[in-house]
Amino acid sequence: MTPFPSQRMQGIEKTLIRQINDRADASCINLGLGELAFPTPLAILERLAAEVKSWPLGYTPNAGLPELRQLIAQRTGPGVTAEQVCVTIGAEEALFALIMVLVSPGDEVLVPDPGFPSYPTLVRMAGGRPVGYALSPARHFALDLEEIGRRMTPRTRLLVLNSPNNPTGAVYSGEDMKDLAVLCRRQELTVLADEVYREIMYEGRAESLAPFYERTIVVNSLSKMYSMTGWRLGWCVGPPEIIRTVIIFNQLAISCPPAICQRAALLALQGVGDREKAAYLEELRRRRNLAAQCLDRYAGLKCEKPSGTFYLFADISAELSPSRTSWDVALELIAREKVVAIPGLAFGRAAENFLRLSFAATPENIEEGIRRIGRFFGKA
């Protein structure tokens, strides 16, 4: 009898982010999930309500509506064409499709550590071997090209890049991107650039690798920048020969993204909700400052104030021991203080001494949640 589950799924579990959230209930203050506490921009919802009856809402092309693909191409950069775009069900499906298309059994994939936990899990599902490249706290989680170079072998197939970085909030410069392009070109690597937080920036701008390196595939979505997580609408943009195979994967996996969500994406990317989007960013800036102040005042914990994303990455190394990990701390916070925080262990070995705290929650929940964390550590 064939064993169940398949070999591909053996040892595959939910990420620790979801495992922690699954242990929480409605009475908890949630500083865990990566979701804005803002509604979808009202201007988008009003246009949807006014126009939805006139739209065809059946199947669309497997790669997405042509007009949406064209708009994404135009927003990506000069010279990008609609044939280089595939619309997906959120950035998560884009990541899954790309890794399944690009990674064969035995291939090595360089993934950031700390980094989003889906990256190594998806690589394992494809039969590949994830290899972490460390983003050291001692270097403010900056990109370390020497570290990346040391991790490359003849079996390295793909490099995953995430800037602004989840969970650290670090943002890589244009010089970083130029130098990384030189290194990847030398090794003939493909780069999967996860840019879902690229528009959530508080200082400067987030550079993309794509203008510097031709074998870059950019992944993005509406979820973070437009507060549209539940709409599940994302995309990937890359070399046409790769995107053609991703479109085949899309057809077999999902047929096509929901038509109404693609119509909402057209409105969003045409600028219908931009006024509210800009207001959300300013409110996030205020919440970032509030969260950093509360972390210092109530908990006495250090963190790098992030240039992008909506997370604080708080150093709890003084509270840990060989018998008490960040996972233990996160479980105890839920049980004793009813606060959801994500353990650094969820993001890799280099993150073990940290907790990720979202400041996308309401100001009231940010302050009360961090006050409880301080009380838990005996600081308040």
Last residue of a domain, one of 269, 293, 316: 269
pTM: 0.95
Higher pLDDT, 331 or 380: 331
In this structure, the answer to whether residues 247 and 284 fall within a common structural domain is: no
- At 214 the pLDDT is 96
Residue 1 domain-assigned (yes or no): no
- Dig out the tokens for 187 from the structure: 């090794």
Last residue of a domain, one of 234, 269, 304: 269
Are 353 and 346 within 8 A, CB to CB?
no
Give the pLDDT confidence of 158-170 residue by residue, as tens digits.
999 999 999 999 9
Question: Which residue segment(s) compose the domain that 188 sits in?
Answer: 53-269
- Mean pLDDT value across residues 219-241: 96
In this structure, the answer to whether residues 74 and 193 fall within a common structural domain is: yes
- At 332 the pLDDT is 97
In this structure, the answer to whether residues 62 and 178 fall within a common structural domain is: yes
Residue 7's pLDDT band, with cuts at 50, 70 and 90, is confident
Residue percentage of the chain with pLDDT more than 90: 94
Last residue of a domain, one of 269, 284, 310: 269
Residue 2 domain-assigned (yes or no): no
Beta bridge partners of 81: none
Nearest to 326 by CA among 351, 304, 305, 296: 351
Give the pLDDT confidence of 83-109 residue by residue, as tens digits.
999 999 999 999 999 999 999 999 999
Residue 285 domain-assigned (yes or no): yes
In this structure, the answer to whether residues 235 and 365 fall within a common structural domain is: no
- Dig out the tokens for 227 from the structure: 């507060």
In this structure, the answer to whether residues 246 and 281 fall within a common structural domain is: no
CA–CA separation, 286 and 279 (whole Å) = 11
Give the pLDDT confidence of 18-32 residue by residue, as tens digits.
999 999 999 999 999
- At 5 the pLDDT is 85
CA–CA separation, 260 and 102 (whole Å) = 30
- At 153 the pLDDT is 97
Residue 72 domain-assigned (yes or no): yes
Is the bond leading into 112 cis (omega within 30 degrees of zero)?
no
- Mean pLDDT value across residues 105-114: 97
CA–CA separation, 278 and 280 (whole Å) = 5
Instruction: With a cut of 90, say whether residue 2 has pLDDT above it.
Output: no
What is the number of other CB atoms lying within 10 angstroms of the CB of residue 363? 15
